C-alpha cells in the first residue's frame, strides 16, 4: 500500500477512518474504537441518525420506501460501523421485532400479501439485530428459520415458496451475513452455524463467486460492479469482503474474483465507484465515476487477507 493512498483514505469520513485503522494499519482497539465513536457525531452516520423520525423509523416505513426506509438506513449504518450500543439503532431494532415477528419463526413485514416470512428480509433483519446486540430470544427463532430455509445446493432463495429449486446469489449472501453476525453474537452456536455457513460457502465457490456453474460465464454483469452500499443486491466484492470478514480459508475458486478486483484498480492505486446510488436516497456517499474510498478500503483489505492466507499456506 502506498503511503499516499493511506493518507487519502484517512481524510475521509469517520466510518472510513476507523476501518482503515483496524483493517489496514492494525492500530490498537482503543484507537480505532475512539474513531468509530465519531460516526454518531459527525459525517455520514450523524446525518443519517439526524433523519430518524420521532417514532424510531426512517422514511416513514419499515421496509419501504426503498431506499430511505428503516431497514435500508440501518443496513447502511451497520456498514459504516455505527457502534452496536447506539440507542437510536436499538429503537429501530425494537420496531423490527414488534412489527415483523411471524408465526413461522421468521420476519414478515408483508403479512397482508405474503403468508410466509421473506427469506431475504429475514436475513437482513437477523444481521441487524445481531450486530446491534438486541437482547431478545427471538433471534434464535429467526436463525432457526433461516437454517430451515437452506436449499439442497447449500444456498438460499426467497423464491423457494414459489417453486425455485436453485439458490439465489442475492438471498445467499444476505443469509450468510445474517448467520455470521448471529454466530458472532452467540459464540456458543458456532459449531452448528459454521456447518450451515460452510454449505453456503460451497454454493458461492461452485459459482466462482459470480459465474454460472454450468457454463463458466459471468452470470450477471451487474455482479462484477462495485456499488456501495449494496443494499439487498449481490456483487463479487461484497462476497469477497464477507469471506475476509469471517476469515474463511483461502480457496482457489475465489481467484477469478480476486483477479477481477485487481483489474479494476486504476494507475493511481485507487478503485472507482462504478455507479451512484439509484432510487430514493437521502444523500450520496460518494460520486459515481470518481475515486472511491469505500471501494479502495474494501479492495485493499480483501487483497491483504488473500495474500496473508497465501503466505500462511507456505
Residues of the chain with pLDDT under 50: 314
What pLDDT is recorded for position 313? 52
- What pLDDT score was predicted for residue 225? 96
Q: What is the pLDDT of residue 310?
A: 83
User: In sequence order, what are the residues at sequence separation of 6 or more whose Cβ sits closer than 8 angstroms to the Cβ of residue 43?
Assistant: 13, 14, 15
Task: Please tell me the predicted confidence (pLDDT) of residue 314.
Answer: 41
Q: Does domain 3-312 have CATH number 1.10.260?
A: no
Measure the CA–CA gap between 22 and 297, rounded to whole angstroms: 11
Question: Quick one: which of 87, 200, 77 has its CA closest to 127?
Answer: 77
Exposed e or buried b per residue across 248-281, where buried means at least 16 C-beta atoms within 10 angstroms of its C-beta: bebeebbebbbebbeebbeeeebbbbbeebeeee
State how far the alpha carbon of 61 is from the alpha carbons of 65, 131, 268, in Å.
7, 21, 42
* The predicted structure's pLDDT at residue 176: 99
pTM for this model (two decimals) = 0.97
Predicted local confidence at residue 279, as pLDDT: 85
Amino acid at each position: 500500500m502506498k503511503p499516499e493512498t493511506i493518507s487519502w483514505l484517512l481524510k475521509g469520513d469517520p466510518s472510513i477512518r476507523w476501518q482503515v485503522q483496524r483493517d489496514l494499519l492494525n492500530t490498537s482497539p482503543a484507537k480505532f474504537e475512539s474513531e468509530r465513536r465519531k460516526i454518531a457525531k459527525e459525517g455520514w452516520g450523524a446525518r443519517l441518525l439526524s433523519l430518524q423520525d420521532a417514532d424510531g423509523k426512517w422514511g416513514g416505513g419499515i421496509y419501504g420506501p426503498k431506499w430511505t426506509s428503516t431497514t435500508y438506513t440501518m443496513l447502511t449504518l451497520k456498514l459504516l460501523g455505527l457502534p452496536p450500543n447506539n440507542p437510536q439503532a436499538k429503537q429501530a431494532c425494537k420496531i423490527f421485532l414488534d412489527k415483523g415477528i411471524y408465526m413461522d419463526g421468521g420476519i414478515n413485514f408483508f403479512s397482508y400479501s405474503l403468508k410466509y416470512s421473506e427469506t431475504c428480509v429475514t436475513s437482513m433483519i437477523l444481521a441487524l439485530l445481531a450486530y446491534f446486540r438486541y437482547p431478545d430470544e427471538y433471534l434464535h427463532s429467526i436463525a432457526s428459520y433461516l437454517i430451515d430455509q437452506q436449499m439442497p445446493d447449500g444456498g438460499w432463495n426467497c423464491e423457494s415458496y414459489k417453486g425455485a429449486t436453485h439458490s439465489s446469489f442475492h438471498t445467499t449472501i444476505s443469509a450468510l451475513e445474517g448467520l455470521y453476525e448471529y454466530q458472532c453474537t452467540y459464540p456458543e452456536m458456532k459449531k452448528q452455524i459454521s456447518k450451515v455457513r460452510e454449505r453456503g460457502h460451497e454454493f458461492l465457490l461452485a459459482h466462482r463467486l459470480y459465474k454460472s456453474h454450468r457454463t463458466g460465464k459471468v452470470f450477471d454483469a451487474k455482479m462484477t460492479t462495485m456499488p456501495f452500499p449494496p443494499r439487498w443486491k449481490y456483487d463479487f466484492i461484497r462476497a469477497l469482503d464477507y469471506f475476509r470478514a469471517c476469515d474463511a480459508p483461502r480457496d482457489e475458486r475465489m481467484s477469478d474474483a480476486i483477479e477481477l478486483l485487481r483489474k479494476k484498480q486504476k494507475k493511481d492505486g485507487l478503485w472507482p465507484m462504478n455507479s451512484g446510488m439509484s432510487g430514493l436516497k437521502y444523500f450520496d456517499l460518494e460520486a459515481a465515476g470518481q475515486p472511491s474510498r469505500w471501494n479502495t478500503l474494501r479492495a485493499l483489505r480483501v487483497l491483504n487477507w488473500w495474500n496473508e492466507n497465501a503466505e500462511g499456506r507456505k
